């Protein structure tokens, strides 16, 4: 049976889901809720979570020595190798089960969390290798579209026109010129993998995809829209609203790919203009003051429209045609 909000409220009304209050993430940061949605789902389905966490905002703010906000098995590793680390833990678990050192019916869920810097860029090789080897784990990127832990530098996830310290919006250039790297399609290109996008504004869709990932016989990759209130320049109560705008403007389409079969999980029939999303965030304010601002916005609008049309076409073309 799929989870529902009432069941989760009853289960977690008097306990935390593995990450506690009192951490030092910025007020309103989306990343802790991304973690909570994932861990709550796993625990509610009878799994004991094990977490690997790459260096980044979430790591440095939840494990400031000698304190930790985690009360489940947790491993911090380097920026670039969380996928390798969690795949090693998963392999050790299977070996221990085979030797009879762990009960055969014990259910563990192996999660790797990382930001976009540790996923799109620094950790891509490790991630691709772990997925290609077929380890059963769930890798979740909390995508805040920049190296926020070190002060808002450009990453492969940063969209055009966003003001960052290493690709600033100035007199010569309107910020980063390149489109955001499509990490979801890169991961979907691997064989025997479950891939999905999620947003905090759609919690039931989020949790259904975690359920699918838990049941999937192989690696899973989930990209979570994760507003950085500090460097996106939005109020600290706007992370969910920003996430909703991202979905409604097609900037962040919600879909899944299971062994090559595409499914758009939230159809947007009357999308809002992407300008609504851009104008809601201060990181685009320098862009909006430039004379060529509309050209950049039009480029993003054309891209998100074509991408969504392509997703719908892939949904139709791959229906009932899994790779294996």
* Structure confidence at residue 22 as a pLDDT band (50, 70, 90): confident
- pLDDT tens digit sequence for 127-164: 999 999 999 999 999 999 999 999 999 999 999 999 99
* Structure confidence at residue 15 as a pLDDT band (50, 70, 90): confident
Question: Strands of 48-53's sheet, edge to edge?
Answer: 74-76, 48-53, 108-115, 138-143, 220-225, 194-198, 255-258, 261-264
Label the pairing between strands 74-76 and 48-53. parallel
Across 10-39, average pLDDT: 92
Across 234-244, average pLDDT: 97
Q: What percent of the chain clears pLDDT 90, i.e. is strictly above it? A: 90
Q: 130 near 82, Cβ under 8 Å?
A: no
Q: 302 near 273, Cβ under 8 Å?
A: no
* Structure confidence at residue 114 as a pLDDT band (50, 70, 90): very high
- Provide the 3-class DSSP secondary structure of residue 231: coil
Encoded tokens for 291: 């004379």
Average pLDDT of the chain, as a whole number = 95
Residue with tokens 């440095």: 60
Across 54-63, average pLDDT: 95
* Structure confidence at residue 13 as a pLDDT band (50, 70, 90): confident
- pLDDT tens digit sequence for 92-105: 999 999 999 999 89
* Structure confidence at residue 4 as a pLDDT band (50, 70, 90): confident
Chain Cα centroid distance, residue 167: 23
pTM comes to 0.96
Give the model's pLDDT for residue 227: 97
pLDDT at 280 over 80: yes
pLDDT at 8 over 90: no
CA–CA separation, 205 vs 266, rounded Å? Answer: 8
Encoded tokens for 183: 């990490």
- Provide the 3-class DSSP secondary structure of residue 241: helix
Residue with tokens 């950790």: 123
Give the model's pLDDT for residue 213: 98
CA–CA separation, 294 vs 265, rounded Å? Answer: 30
Q: List, in sequence order, the alpha helices (H) in the chain.
A: 5-12, 31-44, 57-62, 82-98, 124-133, 183-188, 203-215, 239-248, 274-279, 285-288, 293-317
- pLDDT tens digit sequence for 157-208: 999 999 999 999 998 899 999 999 999 999 999 999 999 999 999 999 999 9
Give the model's pLDDT for residue 278: 97
pLDDT at 1 over 70: no
pLDDT at 2 over 90: no
């Amino acid at each position: 049976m799929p989870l529902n909000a009432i069941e989760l409220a009853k289960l977690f009304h008097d306990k935390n889901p593995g990450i506690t209050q009192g951490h030092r993430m910025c007020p309103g940061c989306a990343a802790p809720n991304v973690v909570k949605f994932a861990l709550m789902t796993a625990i509610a389905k009878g799994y004991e979570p094990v977490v690997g966490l790459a260096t980044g905002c979430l790591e440095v703010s939840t494990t400031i020595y000698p304190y930790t906000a985690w009360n489940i098995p947790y491993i911090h590793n380097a920026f670039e190798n969380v996928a390798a680390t969690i795949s090693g833990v998963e392999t050790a678990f299977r070996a221990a089960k085979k030797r009879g050192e762990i009960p055969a019916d014990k259910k563990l869920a192996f999660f790797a969390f990382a930001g976009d810097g540790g996923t799109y860029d620094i950790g891509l090789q490790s991630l691709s290798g772990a997925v290609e080897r077929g380890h059963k784990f769930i890798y979740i990127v909390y995508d805040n579209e920049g190296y926020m832990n070190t002060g808002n530098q450009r990453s492969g996830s940063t969209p055009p026109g966003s003001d960052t310290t290493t690709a600033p919006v100035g007199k010569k250039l309107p910020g980063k010129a390149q489109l955001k790297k499509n990490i979801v399609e890169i991961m979907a290109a691997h064989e025997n993998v479950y891939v999905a996008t999620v947003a905090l504004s759609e919690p039931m869709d989020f949790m259904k995809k975690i359920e699918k990932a838990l049941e999937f016989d192989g690696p899973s990759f989930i990209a979570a829209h994760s507003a950085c209130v500090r460097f996106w320049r939005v109020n600290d109560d706007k992370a969910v609203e920003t996430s909703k705008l991202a979905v409604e403007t097609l900037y962040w389409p919600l879909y899944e790919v299971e062994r090559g079969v595409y499914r758009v999980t939230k159809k947007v029939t009357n999308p809002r203009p992407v300008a609504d999303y851009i104008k809601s965030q201060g990181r685009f304010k320098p862009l909006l003051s430039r004379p060529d601002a509309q050209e950049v916005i039009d480029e993003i609008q054309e891209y998100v429209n074509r991408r969504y049309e392509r997703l719908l076409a892939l949904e139709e073309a791959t229906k009932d045609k899994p790779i294996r």
